[in-house]
Each structure stands twice: as C-alpha cells, then as structure tokens.
Amino acid sequence: MTVERTLVLVKPDGVQRGLVGDVIARLERRGLHLVGLKLLRIDEALAARHYAEHVGKPFYPGLVRFITSAPVVAMAWEGPGAVALVRSTMGTTNPATSAPGTIRGDLAVSIGTNVVHGSDSPERAAVEIDLFFGADELVAWESALAEWTVGG
C-alpha cells in the first residue's frame, strides 16, 4: 500500500464542542501518524479554494458561513492508504446514515455540522495540504510503532 498524506480538519463545530482530542485519538489509534498540526480561522478566500468543487451549489453559502464561523484544527496525517483510511474512519458525509463507530456516526447528527473534513483523493490531498501548510510546517518522521501498525 502506497504511503500517502491527507488533510484532516476538525471543523468549527468539533472545536466548539471540544472534540479535537477525540478526533486525534481515533486517527492515532487507527495507526496513522501526524506530520502537521495547527489551529486557524479559515477566511473566505481559503474557504473558496478549499471548497472549490462546491461553488455554486445550494448549500455553498451556508458551508462557507459555517467553516469561517470559528477556528478549525488542520492536520496532515501520513500512512499507507491514508486518504481512504481517514475517509472510512470519518464515516459518510451525512451523519444521519454514517455507521456507528465512525467519527460522524458517533459524534454528529447533521450534514451541515459533521465535525470533520478529510481529503477525498490523493490528488486533492496534495492540493489541500498545500492550502493549509507551508513546506516548513510539515515534519517527516519515522513512527516507532510502524513495525506494529503498518508492518514495518
């Protein structure tokens, strides 16, 4: 499995509700390792670039209002197949139908406030990590647990 990096956001609802630690703990325990982490307030320009694929959709104005309404925690996570692994740990977009055991299935009820973002492809992950992190803010390191998680 190819080692990938992916962007995860704890969205404003997750920060306001004190769920940052829970999200991080789930991804750590899954076996991914963190290579970038920051708290920031997304502005309209960054929201437009991050959610470019949704510009013009009916929910877009509300989505921008929401994502800019309070700070987010942005993270870059690394591991084999990290993009799909984060998506499966997050659960489906609408928490109403997300499986229990997933972040959204355990912690959210509404599609507009679904706690987390995760990149949907390796290509988008590269673009999104670039939007949120400078190269000097990403730290490559070898996880001492790799032998026991990803198999060495």
Residues with Cβ < 8 Å from 5, sequence gap 6 or more?
35, 76, 77, 78, 82, 125, 126, 129, 138
Q: Does 112 bind ligand IDP (CB under 6 A)?
A: yes
Q: Is 117 a catalytic residue?
A: yes
Residue 114: contacted member of Mg ion, ligand IDP, none (CB under 5 to 8 Å, by partner type): ligand IDP
Rounded distance between C-alpha atoms, residue 30 and residue 80, angstroms = 11
Touching Mg ion, residues 90-149 (CB under 5 A): 120
Counting contacts by CB under 6 A, is residue 114 touching ligand IDP? yes
Q: Which of 111, 126, 127, 146 binds ligand IDP (CB under 6 A)?
A: 111
Say what the alpha-carbon torsion angle 151, 5, 65, 11 is, to the nearest 10 degrees: 30
How many C-beta atoms lie closer than 10 Å to residue 101's C-beta? Answer: 10
Please, which residue, 71 or 112, has the CB nearer to ligand IDP?
A: 112
Cβ atoms 53, 17 nearer than 8 A = no
For residue 112, the partner it binds in Mg ion, ligand IDP, none, with Cβ less than 5 to 8 A by kind, is ligand IDP
Q: Does 89 bind ligand IDP (CB under 6 A)?
A: no
- Annotated catalytic residues are 117
